[in-house]
Amino acid sequence: MKEPQRLRRPVPRRTRPNRSILGALSQSDGLPPIADPVDGPEAGGMHPLGPGFGDAAEADFAADPLSDSAREYIDRNVRSASDLIDGQIRQGEETAKSLGRSAFSSLNGAASDLPALLTGLVRAYSDIGTAWVDIVGALAQKAETAVPGTVNGSRNAADMPMIGLSVVAGQPVEASLELFRPAQRLTVQPLVATPPGNAADIREVSFEPDGSGAGGRIRIVVPGGQAVGMYHGLLLADPEGTPAGAVTLKILTLPEDERGRS
Amino acid sequence: MAEQRVKKVAIIGGGCAAVAAAFELTRPERNGEFEVTIYQLGWRLGGKGASGRDAETGRIEEHGLHLWMGFYENAFRLMRDCYRELDRPEGSPIRTWRDAFKPDNFVGVTERRGADQWDNWAAYFPPAAGAPGDPLTGRNPFSVKGYLARCALLLRTLISSVQDSYPGSVEPGARDELAFALQTLVASAAGSARGDQKEFAAKTLKYGQLAASALVLEALGAVRWAVESTAPAAGETLVALLEKLSAVARRQLETLVAKNDELRRVWEIADVVLAIMRGIIRDRLLFTSQGFEAIDEYDWREWLRRHGASEASLDSGFIRGSYDLLFAYEDGDIGKPRLAAGQALRGAMRMFFTYRGALFWKMQAGMGDIVFAPIYEVLRRRGVTFEFFHKLENLALSPDGSHVAGLDMSVQAKTRGGKPYEPLVDVKGLPCWPSRPLHDQVINGAALKKAGWNPEAHWEDHSVARKTLQVGEDFDFVVLGVGLGAVADVCGELIAAEPAWQTMVQEVKSVATQAFQVWLNKPVEELGWDLPPINISGYVEPFDTWADMQQLIRLEDWKTDPKAIAYFCSVLSDADIESSDDKTDAAKRTSRHVRDSAIRFLDRDVAHFWPKAVNADGFRWELLETGNKSRSAKSGKARFETQFWTANINPTDRYVLSLPGSLKHRISPLDDRFDNLTIAGDWTDCGHQAGCVEAAVMSGLLAATALSDYPRLSDIIGYDHP
Amino acid sequence: MNFSAIDPVSAVLDEYGAMTRKIMAGYLPEGQPKQHLYDPVADYPSRGGKMMRPSLCIATAKAFGAATEDALKTAASIEMLHNALLIHDDIEDESESRRGGPTLHALHGTPIALNAGDALAMLSLRPLLDNIRDAGPWISLRIIEEMERMARESAEGQALELGWRKDADQNVTQDDYLVMVLKKTCWLAAIYPCRVGAMLGKRSDIPADAFMRFGFFVGAAFQIHDDVLNLQATDAYGKEICGDLLEAKRTLMLIDVPQHMSPAENLRLNRFLKCSREERNHEDVDWLLAMMKRSGSIERAQMMARGLAGAALHEFTLLFGNLPESRDKAFIRGLVTWVFQRSS
């Protein structure tokens, strides 16, 4: 008589919890509505592009009544699909990790060196006076072709706006500018000390467009006696107000005495 | 299709995890797919949750304090299903699950002010909708974003309650700075075109709130956007501005709270909540697939400190209580508080933000009566076989190390006539477990009783028979549900065969605990306690936790009912555990040590809760209710001998810790290194990595999934959770 | 009648489609060999099509802040690759018609069509290389990496499906189907266009799993809906053609229906699956269709597609929620449900 086969456990689908924030289907949290919802002015009004846009299609889609069993079927199956995609995502991550790198690393190393490269290009020491530096919008391209040490801007690609950085300081400073995207007009946020300490913000910041309408100069005036340290200021593209870049200022040592105002 | 052969499962152990697995595997819907036998040493189920009844007074004797939280969805689901299936008749003292568990909305914390000054603080947590174990709607209560939003709401509530009590307390200068910070925060976080930013900022201030919460909520969406881009400056600026905001808020509050204790407590909580939010953002817990596990290498206080919580907040009763409730002291040494930050965060979030019904639920009798007796009855009815007095000595592996081939058991006692052991006794109409074995059912029972036989003691090796269960014949699958402390002893072969098991037994640790119970002949109000009945933590060591148990009075069977029952418990340092070759003697000495600590506590420290229970000479021992008349002849300290205390030093009675850096070494019940074995217990990698009933039940469900691919992991609530 | 005013999705598809086609034309060479290579290469691109993939890429890029011109080359590349894969799909499916005309291999024979498909796939790289000049080397290389991943996933998905077709015995579950759809369809149709669009718009990298859920839900909803439509398309006589059933293509319905049939019916189904395509006849197809209708498999598949679209809308809010309202954002949102409002 044939011996019955020894029973084995089923192979587990997974053995670890799925802890990602995207791990559950419905991100609606069941919270009570917040008492003071801070909506923008267009909330509750007509879509700015007029009727026919916005949520009409979605509303129709959502308004269809579903039976309970249908809803339950959908919930269950969509949840299962959701588990599935998470599993796939994780497999992708794990494969990449096992290969010893992020799935999408490539030039990450080089890219993060660009700001450093630019900082080197832009270094300015001054007692009294200004340092005026050209920085081109298409950074990557510039870094490819630039000769290290060249400070004044070379020919940049046509159509790229030129953004300049002008720093007036009575102390040695290092300034750098990083643009995420080309922008023609900018608003400069006050430079805030990082990490926050007792240092006051550097508020004399401005952007002066040049006559052409494309590009201009960022101007920063560092008050005398400003504390040593790092400061960051965000650059917002006009008029959308979306971040377009950041300016970093490092103040190196305090002045020996109180002279050097400009 | 494979033949539908019944699968035999041997479950070793009878604690929460083991019985949860048994309950799940024998659900009627499974149509008898699994035939389950539970092997339990000694005379009662329950493991660390076992309780017994004193033969004379029917008083409940527990290992310690067992609290059920309102977020124990899986555990409550189990209990509700059990009570429904049990269907006790009208007139039973505990008939439905709502008779068994009652909501408790007060949590208490003691605070130290100076060397010898303590304050009691009772917080009322509002009842929440529904009850734990209710079906969940399609909505997900667990998203990290949801927690952050709730933190922010909580913050706003706390701070605005301060603001409202003290109008005009905001300095004019500060307000400008705040407005400026708000504006900059909003502008720089602008991922969306907010109409008029100035107006928005002004509007928020106008409502007199410090706006931390609303803005952070606003910023959260933007943070995600900003942090996702590789421009580090944007993320840094945002965190910097958040910090600026909290610095401003802090400065304002510090002036207020210096004088007012109530406010200070509020601020300490707000401070911790801010640190949590900062930590979640900075450590990118929103974006890692590890969720909160990413910070399990850190200690809870250490992590909070890194993210800006002040020392005062870290020493608040609130934080100390969280260590006390989890006995989070390495080696039982209160000088070594250590708690994995990720699990602490998870636990805190679940506890405060996902409770249903009430924050705590109190059992209305001993845990054995409320949990294990009903489960036992249901399982019996379903056909589960129970083998009491069976102790596992060794798990034998197959020669190729792939599966468990044999279970070496020691039979501690046999029943007369070979009949099944009937373990329950009736106390006032309620089926209960007795505090001692029922000797008259056992062969040689009288002699064993006289010899003080304790089959639960880990050194007790009295054995009437040994047998080895064989795979294929006696079992197909094994669920190892013994406590962590037994694993090193019984799993030697597994440990040798599998490095992960070796690491696990080294790294996953436990502590011993101590507890005592007193029955008093005056109600606590007359002893000077004027707050509602409470569980309170954070007090001196030992015995930092006190629970008022007056709900048990009616269930015990005293000739004269006591007027108050109090449980005290805390961790027991390994250093205080006596050891010697004569283990019985060592155990006796440790027990005496606990007794002496208890007596000292009552003399010296309980005055803080019960000022009237104490006079110039110390504790008023005559307050103790002792039962029958001959015992009441004692007076003074000796009267304490009639009460109940315990040193929980058996390895399997030790409480499992969540030490930083240890959680990654836990093994999951789903792990299939041994193809016919799964494990269950609050020491396993079960999703909620802390010693509690919920973790144990989850692990039991996972064990069932391991054997049958069901329940689905997404149905185990809280398993997939940041 | 001009429906554009009421149907913003179509209007955007038309506009971006036209722009993409123009750019694409610049990348389809006109030299020799003309008759046997470059004419066949240009054939499918010239026949039109919904242009959903390139439009999604452009719209995502713009929603995240790019200008239209920044995304056009990438969009053209996507459409070229899509057409290349269509050529191969048609060969593998042994289809006869595509977009109102005969399939390429029906016109030119399989060897020439195969070669043209390969060439078109290679040519689709060229616009991405040209990106370096416009978007910078760093982003361009990232996009090429994404394309490699997408191409690999598509190939794996196609292999899965071909494997099932080859082996009628293989038990395919709903999860298997979804994984296949994810790989074969969703990457090219939605995940990749959105990912590279977002990169172009933000000019920065994005998380490794960004848009995967959204793309999966949207693509799967579309695919399932497509599969349902296939069962409803009729010929000139109003008779249902059911090309997929003839193919025994593993769809949700085909996976679901065995669970609702008797053992005898299952036996008949298994025989049907084991035949070659020529051996299958219309009686069997009609019978299978009737089974699917009777058991509610088709309805359930439709519900699933709706549910997935709902999930996609949710993901949309997470991904795009903070962006300013714009025509592009409305387009992407509308796209999720648009396919359900059309019957072709």
Q: Mean pLDDT, chain A, as a whole number?
A: 57
Give B533-588 pLDDT, tens digit per residue.
666 666 666 676 777 788 888 888 888 888 888 888 888 999 999 888 888 899 99
- CB pairs B-C closer than 8 Å: 21
**In angstroms, rounded to a whole number, what is the distance separating the alpha carbons of residues B277 and C2?**
52
**Phi (first) and psi of residue B342, to 5 degrees:** -65, -45
Res B166 pLDDT > 70: no
Question: Tokens 């002949």 appear where?
Answer: B521
The average pLDDT across B14-28 equals 96
CB neighbours (10 Å) of residue A160? 15
Give me the pLDDT at residue A195, please.
59
Q: Which residue has the higher pLDDT, B538 or C224?
A: C224
**What value does the mean pLDDT take over residues B45-54?**
95
Kindly state whether B1 is in contact with chain C, defined as any CB-CB distance less than 8 angstroms.
no
pLDDT value of residue C327: 87
Which of B136, B178, B289 to mutate: most A Cβ within 10 Å?
B289
Mutate to test the interface with A, among B714, B717, B719, B721 (most CBs of A within 10 A): B714
- The answer to whether the Cβ–Cβ distance between B230 and C322 falls below 8 Å is no
pLDDT of residue B427 exceeding 80: yes
Q: Are B214 and A18 within 8 A, CB to CB?
A: no
Contact yes or no for C220/A78 (Cβ under 8 A)? no
Specify the pLDDT at position B280.
76
Within 158-197 of A, beta carbons closer than 8 Å to C belong to 180-181
Give the CATH number of the domain where residue C324 resides: 1.10.600.10
Kindly indicate the confidence band of residue B46, based on its pLDDT and cuts at 50, 70 and 90: very high
Give me the sheet containing A205-209, strands edge to edge.
A130-136, A162-168, A215-221, A205-209
Mind listing the pLDDT tens digit for each residue in A135-190? 212 222 223 333 333 333 333 334 456 778 888 887 788 887 777 666 777 888 88
Residue B185: is its pLDDT beyond 70? no
Average pLDDT over all residues of chain B: 80
Task: State the pLDDT at residue B690.
Answer: 93
Q: Do C324 and B193 touch (CB under 8 A)?
A: yes
Q: What is the pLDDT of residue B254?
A: 54
Asked whether the predicted pLDDT for residue A65 surpasses 80, the reply is: no
C303 closest CB neighbour out of A48, A73, A180: A73
**Which of chain C's residues have a Cβ under 8 Å away from the Cβ of A22?**
209, 213, 318
Neighbours of chain C (3+ CB pairs under 8 A): A, B
Sequence-ordered list of residues with C-beta below 8 angstroms from that of A255, at least 6 positions apart, any chain: A170, A171, A224, A225
In 3D, which of A165, A112, A157, A166 has the Cα closest to residue A138? Answer: A157
Query: Could you tell me which CATH number the domain at B7-51+74-89+366-508+661-715 has?
Result: 3.50.50.60
Q: Which residues of C touch A48 (CB under 8 A)?
A: 325
Note the pLDDT of residue B39: 97
CB B372 within 8 Å of CB B46: yes
Closest by CA position to B41, among listed B28, B32, B33, B50: B50
Using the beta-carbon criterion (under 8 Å), do A21 and B675 form an inter-chain contact?
Answer: no
Q: CB-based contact (8 Å) between C263 and chain B?
A: no
Is the pLDDT reported for residue C277 higher than 70? yes
Residue C38 covered by a domain: yes
Stretch C202-230: mean pLDDT: 89
Q: Which residues of A14-38 are buried (b: 16+ CB within 10 A; e: fewer)?
A: eebbbbbbbbbbbbebeeeeeeeeb
For position A137, what pLDDT does the model report?
22
Whether B191 sits inside 8 A of C322 (CB atoms) is yes
Interchain CB distance below 8 Å, C204 and B191: no
Predicted confidence (pLDDT) at residue C124 exceeds the cutoff of 80: yes
pLDDT the model gives residue B687: 92
Complete DSSP assignment for B634-670: --GGGGGGGSEEEEE-SGGGSEEP--TTTGGG---TT
Looking at CA atoms only, how far is residue B543 from chain A in angstroms? 36
- Determine which of A7, A76, A90 to mutate to test the interface with B (most B C-beta atoms within 10 Å): A7
Q: What percent of chain B has pLDDT over 70?
A: 74
Domain boundary assignment for chain B: 7-51+74-89+366-508+661-715, 143-353, 510-652
pLDDT at B122: 62
Mean pLDDT of B52-73: 90
Q: In 10 A of CB C236, how many CB atoms?
A: 5
Distance of CA B96 to the CA centre of its chain: 23
Tell the burial category of A39 from Cβ atoms under 10 Å away from its Cβ (0-12, 13-18, 19+).
Answer: exposed
pLDDT in tens, B223-257: 333 333 333 444 455 555 555 555 555 555 455 55
Disruptive mutation site among A3, A9, A75 for chain B (greatest number of B CBs within 10 Å): A9
Domain that residue C29 falls in? 8-341
Residue C193 clears pLDDT 90, i.e. is over it: yes
Give the lowest-confidence range in A107-121, B241-255, B657-671.
A107-121
Task: Name the minimum distance, in Å, from the CA of A213 to any CA of chain B.
Answer: 23
CB contact under 8 A, C205 and B193: no
Within a domain: C336: yes
User: C65: left (phi > 0), else alpha (psi -120 to 50), else beta?
Assistant: left
Q: What is the pLDDT of residue B196?
A: 38
Kindly list the residues from chain C whose CB atom is less than 8 angstroms away from the CB atom of residue B226: none
Other CB atoms within a 10 A radius of the CB of residue B144 amount to 21
Q: Between the CA of residue B344 and those of A18, B165, B338, what are the distances in Å?
A: 18, 32, 10
pLDDT tens track for B94-106: 999 999 999 887 7
What confidence category does residue A196 fall into, taking pLDDT thresholds of 50, 70 and 90? low
Least CB–CB distance from C207: residue in B193, B231, B287 = B287
Hey, which residues does B614 pair with through a beta bridge? B619
Cβ distance A104 to C146 less than 8 Å, yes or no, reads yes
Q: ipTM of the assembly?
A: 0.73
Task: Quick: pLDDT tens for B675-705.
Answer: 999 999 999 999 999 999 999 999 999 999 9
Q: Which of B61-70, B107-116, B238-247, C18-27 has the lowest mean pLDDT?
A: B238-247
User: Contact partners of B by the rule of 3+ C-beta pairs under 8 A?
Assistant: A, C
Instruction: State the Cα–Cα distance between residues C223 and C234, nearest whole angstrom.
Output: 19
Which of B220, B229, B712 to probe the C interface (max C CBs under 10 A)? Answer: B229
Task: Flag if B143 and A242 touch (Cβ within 8 Å).
Answer: no
Burial of C234 (0-12, 13-18, 19+ CB in 10 A): exposed
pLDDT band at A54 (very low <50, low <70, confident <90, very high): very low
How many structural domains is chain C composed of?
Answer: 1
* A positions 237-256 inside 8 Å of B (CB): 240-243, 245-246, 248
Look at strands A215-221 and A173-179 and give their pairing.
unpaired
Q: Do A84 and C179 touch (CB under 8 A)?
A: yes
User: Residue B114: left (phi > 0), alpha (psi -120 to 50), or beta?
Assistant: left
Task: Determine the distance in angstroms separating the CA of C216 from the nearest CA of chain B, rounded to an integer.
Answer: 18
